[in-house]
Amino acid sequence: MACPTQFLCRALRTVGLVLFYYVFSIGITFYNKWLMRDFHFPLFMTLVHLVIIFSFSTLTRFAMQCWTGKPRVTLPWKVYLSKVAPTALATTLDIGLSNWSFLFITISLYTMTKSSAVLFILFFSLVFKLEEPNPFLILVVLLIASGLFMFTLKSTQFNLEGFIMVLLASFIGGIRWTLTQVLMQKAELGLQNPIDTMYHLQPLMFLGLFPLFLLNEGLSVSTTEKLFRVSELSHLLYSLVTLSVGGMLAFGLGFSEFLLVSRTSSLTLSIAGIFKEVCTLLLAVEFMGDKMNTVNWLGFAVCLSGISLHVGLKTYYSKGKTHSDYMLVLHSKGEANEHIFFS
């Protein structure tokens, strides 16, 4: 009796953790698109999210330190600027461009295009020698690239400007996740825990994005009636609350991903990410008015098959290796997340 009961408990726990992850992952995608309909300041929104996530990371580190009695890692300034800064810059550009693209494109096109990040992650992993050359990788590349081509071929809601933004974000995302893996695998830095990594990344990400914000949105934000020129206090409070919700969703996404990996496995998160893409597109078609024809759906299926093959190959070739579960997830981040550290 014990074995079936334990199996049922593990299954229920896994389902619960996956649903917990879906709430934040799918939620933040739709939140971004919803907010961008009336609030046309994606870079300012990202800056607010960075501040919120840094605050939550600081509080979480403090709670962990009180619970364990062990001090959390804090990098020296020289190491911090030389080792963390490149990852922070790549991350902030990836997220900034991803959020910016929601002004122009649909959720379905964003989700599909962002999935191409796997191609760039593979490329930079080979460059940095984090990935071993494999003939099956050619098939993965062909499936994802052809799927993306089919999806955009006859799309009635295609926007070139937004598409280029997401594609560029995916390219930078390849650099981002490769640098992130290098950063987290350096044991001497002590950043294996994602909470510590988020804590160290956010300030440099803020500094990296702030000049771009000033150049593109600074004047507009300072004169908008949604923030600094409000006629009623209730409007200001509404804007602040809606912006804060995104920051909490972003932090919750990173936390739920790490929780799912630590309680189950990287394979569970990778498979959950694939099904999440399907859920995102179905919800976008049903509730956001996204239009997809037969060729688009076929392209999506082809792309997902490429991502699934990549996940399977990573799982097969990682058996017996010493990489932690979370490191394996970094190679299958073809998801459409906007998250501040994990996305």
Polymer length of the chain:
343
Q: Which of 107-116, 208-217, 227-236, 244-253 has the lowest mean pLDDT?
A: 227-236
Dist. CA 256–CA 211, nearest whole Å = 31
Pair 292, 285: CB distance under 8 Å: yes
pLDDT, tens only, 54-77: 999 999 999 999 998 888 888 888
Query: If you average pLDDT over every residue of the chain, what do you get?
Result: 80
pLDDT for the residue 204:
92
Pair 35, 45: CB distance under 8 Å: yes
What's the whole-number mean pLDDT along residues 164-177? 85
pLDDT, tens only, 86-141: 989 988 898 888 888 888 888 888 887 887 777 777 777 777 776 677 777 778 87
pLDDT for the residue 107:
84
Dist. CA 67–CA 84, nearest whole Å = 27
pLDDT for the residue 158:
77
pLDDT, tens only, 123-138: 777 777 766 777 777 7
pLDDT for the residue 56:
92
Q: Which amino acid is at 175?
A: I
